[in-house]
A and B are shown apart, each in its own frame.
Chain A
């Protein structure tokens, strides 16, 4: 019992000392001249998108670029909050966060501000006052959806009978990519044949399209909210003997820019793929460098530049440059 108590005391003392050490080292730079950065992100196993996102940050925030990085990955908001608080206690200079959920961050970001830690948000926005972070570099899912819908309108098809396969309901990507299409359904330029969620699952997407085919209803567009679901939808078309893609009966639209998906576009099996860029690290790196040189940031919310490729314009070079995964 006694030894345990002593041990606890020693540990507590060590903790206090290390905290004090951190407190004193809160100048902008570490002893070895490196900028200390704490990154809170979702785990790379979440998706191909996230894997590319994590790899991008590992590449840019390297020792060669003058950073000393600590990372924490979790899908759970409370774990992320604890980790962020820990990074603040550890005395990082910059805190980069892609939040698992949009709420509950105000307290931690206020602590960061008090401790002089500068916060950047990437990939996802959160529900906090804009004064609590330096800048946010995010994707605008709605803009992606608008790009796809605009492209579709530009094709000037005689009629638009759309099978709309949604992602997991309530997710950022689903809400953003559904809205522009819903507007078209509402104003009557496009007809909603089916709108159903496949919760990002390829096999479910295939079943949904199968059920539309079985019902005998006519459709000429499949708008799938990610690449995997588009692939599942196409598998159902292939089994039913319906042509798709360039010169096919059904227009196929996917999202996310997986390399394999772009290859489908290049081969003319799909018509369009819209980017969801996981590359935010370079922009944040540039902004940190500006701050370090004593400059001011001009933008609070930076929207990732995103693009699309259709089967008429895509080249192999585009796939190599912009595709994610392999």
Chain B
């Protein structure tokens, strides 16, 4: 029992899962109906699931997808890419301009998505080369696109906020007819399965951590740190394009100024809440994804509590400070020590009881 607790407390996922659990309990006490899911018929005549739980899972999908790429970059490069939201705006703009230039059919849609992926990967590689080859600190290297990205998106859009509408887009950003679960959730699940398979059947995860922990050792063992870092940026590029396109499909509009506004900070936060060291090295992807859901659950909770507009950010900040402090090594060790002290007196009895 004691060792299980110790293992749990030391586990990377302990704090994020505990925080999520607290949020759920808090909401259930506040409103027992909070997580109830109902079936509604939408204006297109499809039966769809709705409720706060669906809103949280749906709303977090873009941040969750982005956090996958960010975790890999954080682990291997010992720093963060702060340009993800700006590059997502570029990818979304490319996506919209291809769709607007053609009649929207499935092949055109796929082409548009593919093209936005290519563009986004190229921009991401630009960051990657600066970081991996020129050894510029990630935050400085990505600062370039952080500030220039939305201007580039503006240039692609010709300064306007172009709209696109098609049943196809609604089924990606909303619901596929006949399937009651929002499509972004499904896309997120597909991403998670894909990345799990990649990590399980390739050495990418191991190599990424090795590069993050000690580049010299990695190099001596025949792992190219440059390539590992570039691969992280390529994967992140695909994640960014997907997140951008999903967000465009949700509303049917690209606004380069507000698309995924401040999302880079939420994504980095998700990685941190997930128990990953922002200084690189060991990582846990699922932690980051849970972090993304915590942030969204928090946002939805604040909306449901009708917190005044001006105070939303302050409330969010307080909760996040609590989570981050609780997951700090100092507090964790303290909790483990306290636990030991409390249960030290009767270890023999416990053993006897177990034996009996």
Contact = CB atoms under 8 A, between A and B. Distances in A.
A238 B312 CA distance: 26
A166 B303 CA distance: 13
Given A202-B258, A228-B161, A232-B251, A241 B303 contact: no
Given A45-B154, A194-B306, A237 B43 contact: yes
B179 to A, nearest CB: 13
A203 B89 CA distance: 13
A17 interface: no
Contacts of A47: 161, 257
B312 A197 contact: yes
Contact of B303 (A199, A211, A216): A211
A232 B42 CA distance: 15
Contacts of A243: 43
Interface in B38-92: 40-44, 48, 50-52, 55, 59
Contact of B163 (A201, A208, A237, A260): A260
A154 to B, nearest CB: 27
A3 B160 CA distance: 50
A235 interface: yes
A206 interface: yes
B153 to A, nearest CB: 8
Interface residues of A, number: 45
B160 A325 contact: yes
A51 to B, nearest CB: 3
Given A45-B257, A231-B251, A325-B160, A213 B50 contact: yes
A45 B256 contact: yes
A240 interface: yes
Contact of A235 (B250, B260, B308): B250
A116 interface: no
Contacts of A8: none
Interface in A193-234: 194-197, 199-204, 206-208, 210-211, 213-216, 228, 231-232
A240 B175 CA distance: 11
Interface string B153-194: 011000111110000000001110000000000000000000
Nearest to A212: B303
A231 B303 CA distance: 19
A241 B150 contact: no
Interface in B290-332: 299-300, 303-304, 306, 308-310, 312
A237 B251 CA distance: 12
Contacts of A166: 309
A326 B150 contact: no
B251 A202 contact: yes
Contact of A238 (B43, B51, B308): B43
B304 A214 contact: yes
A102 B260 CA distance: 28
Contacts of A242: 43
Contacts of B258: 199-202, 228
B154 A207 contact: no
Contact of A211 (B55, B250, B255): B55
Among A48, A166, A237: residue with most chain B CB under 10 A: A48
A46 B257 contact: yes
A176 interface: no
A8 B197 CA distance: 63
B261 interface: yes
A325 B42 CA distance: 30
A231 B252 contact: yes
Nearest to B256: A45
Contacts of B257: 45-47, 200
Contacts of B163: 231, 260
B12 interface: no
Given A166-B309, A215-B304, A238-B42, A228 B159 contact: no
B42 A240 contact: yes
A203 B50 CA distance: 17
Contacts of A260: 161-163, 253
A84 B312 CA distance: 37
Given A169-B309, A238-B42, A238-B44, A228 B253 contact: yes
Contact of A228 (B40, B173, B255): B255
Interface string A58-84: 000000000000000000000000000
Contacts of A214: 50-52, 55, 304
Contacts of B255: 200-202, 228
A258 interface: yes
B175 A239 contact: yes
Interface in B4-20: none
A51 B255 CA distance: 13
B50 A45 contact: no
Interface string B256-278: 11111100000000000000000
B247 interface: yes
A119 B312 CA distance: 40
A197 B159 contact: no
Contacts of A208: 303
Nearest to B257: A47
A213 B42 CA distance: 13
Given A45-B150, A240-B50, A324-B160, 4 more contacts: A45-B257, A47-B161, A237-B43, A239-B174
5 contacts: A55-B159, A200-B258, A207-B300, A208-B303, A325-B160
Interface of B: 33, 40-44, 48, 50-52, 55, 59, 150-151, 154-155, 159-163, 173-175, 247, 250-253, 255-261, 299-300, 303-304, 306, 308-310, 312
8 smallest A-B Cβ distances: which pairs?
A51-B159, A45-B154, A197-B309, A325-B160, A211-B303, A201-B258, A202-B251, A238-B43
